[in-house]
Structure 1
């Protein structure tokens, strides 16, 4: 098995791969593609735009500036433009935007033929032909002075520069398109184990059947996963020790209570009745504590359980004792779980409803994956801010539920623990119209969920 890489190595590798890929794409798009051609202009169109007799042709722009344009002069073009515009030669100026080609340098320098009067005439004729024929030449700037002293200038838009911009933007877009899957894959690789670790931590409890904490991903995430798993094991061991001690103490208390019960029988009648009632209450509390401790320590015995039939049996037993318990179940509700633990959990919910409201209504319904057991009453209910506390062991809400009703505060804790050990949950809700609705949700395949 290869050694897991750290987050620093993964992030650094992603950054390096991103840089290399971005540079490669930029080199391919900007460097390997042919450079855009140099911009060109038609002298006749430039003269017409400068004269204002026609709108600027495509690729040309006209603007005004304070000084004459600077650059390599084009005397022959300035002379021809001055002749066409019927302006004095000093009022017209033409310069190249870039270094001109050799042929045009020759025209500019007057070296078409050996110097002479006839050659000069031929030069003028050639230049006039260039202007009239619509020949495209490298981009230039042609300017004429205005009455206010400013210069009206005609020049090229330089479409090549725009093409360069498009190539650069295309390189950036292609780089981002190629880098995005790599970044997404690396982000999933980094965050996936963290997300699964967070989900497992959120579901983690101290039950023996709780799912294991995943140890995967980068080295730092594995260290964190092992630390959480070790902490859970230590807490589980401590909880088992405390529960075992609680069971031992409760068991040892039964012997002195039996002796007190025998001595109480010889007491005078008024005192005897009160003493016997107190001892019986203590014995009932100890029995509840022992049942809770045994349920926490003993492993679940998996079997097929019909929760609807189980609720009907509990309702029949309660009715035989004069308690008002009704069950509504349209069909069998089959789950895989511990029948004794589930019976204890539903019985506790029924006892709570009967104790605090005098009656209980049970509705069982489910879907393909879960079964829900709703135990509702019309009692005082439980405030929302106290529900998280009351599902913990030995917690009671004295203001809403009288001390005269007794109880050790284990009923909801046992139901919640049983639901969690079966891969389900216990939720407490306000019942419409008043009262409490305790919902026990169990997966149908609790063996797999656990």
Structure 2
């Protein structure tokens, strides 16, 4: 996510490394590179210039140079301005209606239908809502079927009227259906349209007027850069939407849309799409995104994802097993499955401060656990619950069954044994012993 921009900003801010104080000369040199990095990321020229001018004024006006290194100070100033550029604070949704109506708008191919499903899943699982998805894309072949597949996948009802070519009537009928069947949120998925297509723009404006949505969201493919910002402005002029959804942020995006759109349309970015799975949706936090762009990670989001996936009751059961030395490979496999549900491995690594930068040239495959899973699945029930019984002949059989080598099996067993001892040590007062051991190691 924003890897190219992150690298260039990192190089730009290194210009100050070694300088004992901030002067107009080295600030100008650094900010020239920062502006170039922003322009390469497809940020609007005017916005990039205003951004660097603001940072320069603040840098030269600082009175805390005795307590901070120039490079650290510049990173803080750039981080603060990036946060403000993207909106400053996270903005929630207005779901006060009965039912609350959300209208999705955007270009063809921006990912509206998929994100409609993600949003419905988010509201169902995180906000305890009962959403209804509405198929109002009457033009694209198989659009209704796509939404129905998505709805079935997440367990959300889809309202559709096959043969009806009036999106205004469909959306109004859907709201009546929602009221009659206890749905408290209605998500209307409309057809993708070009801003220059007057007939299509009039059509969505008519839908907007007829259903008076609580939230009108503009879905934009973040990989389209500055073009996305220009399109957002055209849509906003017609719909006066309430917020922006950035999709495909997991791609090799330059970041121009995320950094420019808030300033141009003066509407907040509310959600981002970070993958293909239905749970790959995050609330947009400007400060957290600024941290990630500058390579500082995003520990808060990482912890939140972990909390979403790890069940407290299961954690207590696991703790008891560890205390009794009963932690086995089945338990280990459960932990792997929960980690995989948190998102792509590359995205998770990017949330760890410093890790994204350190591993930027390493190809982190989402199938990183595939070999481990194959080895565990090739074990018998006895071997998974009592790893100590695995001898040489068993190792050969496990390696053959998993398509791996005996060396790989040995490596997993060794790592599992070390991890089990570490987890046992962390139980009760063992944490103190562990700290003592670490002290001796140092």
State the TM-score, normalizing by the size of structure 2: 0.18
| Larger RCO (CA under 8 A, 6+ residues apart) | 2
Structure with max Cα Rg: 1
TM-score (norm 1): 0.18
Which one has a larger percent strand, Structure 1 or Structure 2? 1
